[in-house]
Structure 1
């Protein structure tokens, strides 16, 4: 026995489907994330800023989901600095602010956060903000102290400030 929907049922079904398209549209999110070219230039600028200051470092940029977008290790920087840089950047994504601010504000759970794979509570990670949204983060490691790592990350973001600001 064939199954069919009466003509009036088709109209009702169509009306229900079309009437709910605004609900469907809310299910699609438009999000900002850092592109490859800008990520590459941020790590390059960070490494060069530290090199100019006499430090051999690594720099990593992750996107808003903490996925690796770009990484660069200077010639004499220890290989472990790549991992530390990424963990600093990941902390920025998790905390939504500079890694140094997380260190200062959440020292009560420092040991617990350091046990989470991919995170580290050290200075040297900064957010990359585009149009008021966290689009990614940069982490730097290898200078003698997180404050110096952070200075190199900040120098990179300042050098590319116009590109970041107009990426919106």
Structure 2
């Protein structure tokens, strides 16, 4: 797939982000290596970054898993950082093996495009190449996790009979850390 097509898809997906609001959450931030002086802080090459802690990722994952369990659905839940690297992953006792990779693909896609996977699924109707991006899954159930307007992570849920249920469980996971 060429870069122009992926760039066009990213532009379309980003346009959808304006309508998809994800609650913010409290998170740790890396220490700022720049001096306190405001005259130097704007010229330094170093900055700060927000990230989702392991404790927060586990709390979100637990809440999403328990939400789906309460509804009677065994699912897998994956939380990734903004680069798509797994922070935590859980699989309910009777969830199928396929749900593990699907939850990961949803989390990676939502963090990578910084929008819910349901929005990506809609965009794929006019940009079918979105369904063939390696490692991404655009089925509903993946949500970005934001802090101060910046995506810091993504959560993916898979295994309920519909993507809407997966997404509601992912939302419950985010609410648990908001």
Specify the alignment match of 2:53 in structure 1: 35
* Superposition pairs of residues 86-165 of structure 1, within 5 angstroms: 86-110=104-128, 112-161=129-178
After TM superposition, the score normalised by the length of structure 1 is 0.77
Q: What's the CA shift for 1:123?
A: 0.3
Aligned-residue CA RMSD (Å): 1.9
Structure 1 residue runs without a partner (length 5+) = 1-21, 162-168
Larger-Rg structure: 1
After TM superposition, the score normalised by the length of structure 2 is 0.73
In structure 1, the residue corresponding to 2:127 is in which secondary structure? helix
How many residues of Structure 1 are paired with residues of Structure 2 in the alignment? 140
Structure 2 residue runs without a partner (length 5+) = 1-39
- More helix by proportion, 1 or 2? 1
Runs of 4+ aligned residues of structure 1 deviating over 6 Å after TM superposition are none
Q: Could you tell me whether the CA contact under 8 Å between 2:120 and 2:130 is conserved in 1?
A: no
Bigger relative CO (Cα 8 Å, ≥ 6 apart): 2
In structure 2, the residue corresponding to 1:26 is in which secondary structure? coil
2:63 to 42, 45, 55: 45
Q: What's the CA shift for 1:29?
A: 3.2
